[in-house]
Structure 1
Amino acid sequence: MKRTTIVVYCNTTVETTCGDICVQVKITRKAIPNEAHPAEHDIVVTKYGEKFHSDTWDSNATSLGGNAKSVLFVDDRTRYHHGYPLRKNADTDKAYLEFEASVLTQTGTQIKWIHSDNGSEFIGLQDHMRTHGTHWTGSAPHTPEQNGVAE
């Protein structure tokens, strides 16, 4: 075994024999298995507008119109971005309905799939999405890497 100095706090160190425990300490969380969302890999995206990734985010400044947040929709096939300013997260419903109508009118494509983090923004739209045949999936908690396209 190799003797190693580990920094515990800024000015405090501890001499220890480093073995398997050092490797375990460096692991911050378990890896997410690819099977976490197996159905997501079943969809074949053939054209713009079939699958979107979405995320909301807070701005550092408020716009003149009073908007301090935004929702972003990113097309899975083309990576084309659509952004909508929001006053509050509850406005995501209205922005999504406007976005969905725009995609349908401009391209004739019905949105098949929306993927977002597991925030509550899309909870109010679950019935609407079901009646329109849109499938929604959310990321596992505390895993922004699962929503990497929109992040």
Structure 2
Amino acid sequence: MKIALASDHAGFDLKEKVRLYLQGKGIDVEDFGPAAPDPVDYPDFAEMVATRVAARDADYGILVCGTGLGMMLAANKVPGIRAVPCNDTLSAHFARSHNNGNVLTMGGRLLDEAAMHRVVDTWLSTPFEGGRHERRVEKISAIDQRHHWEKKE
């Protein structure tokens, strides 16, 4: 399994803990930064991770900002991405089992290390159920395709 990982400055400390946690589990992690907790713009990092996941160069993405919300908004602009903010295990479970989420976003201001472990473990261990949920995820993809167009000059 390969995970694309990034944060902004507000999520930097938790991102570093996520990286070490995943590597300790033997998971291949591609860390897109930042390399220090200096102020950065989260959309830049969300796009890097989301692009890797959409291109299937990574199985999942994990993004950390202050709340997980800004990263979610930015990542979901990349076609094919289903980024979901999960700051608890119930959200992580349903994001994977019902919504087939492919990018996990978390809040560095909301989760301590133990809670992050629980959320990440739930996310990675929960399979997509398919069935009636497959049809719904396909409809999300269809909306994405219908409303994706190039900016006209």
Would you tell me which structure has more helix in proportion to its own residues? 2
Would you tell me which structure has more strand in proportion to its own residues? 1
**Larger Rg over CA atoms:** 1
**TM-score higher than 0.5:** no
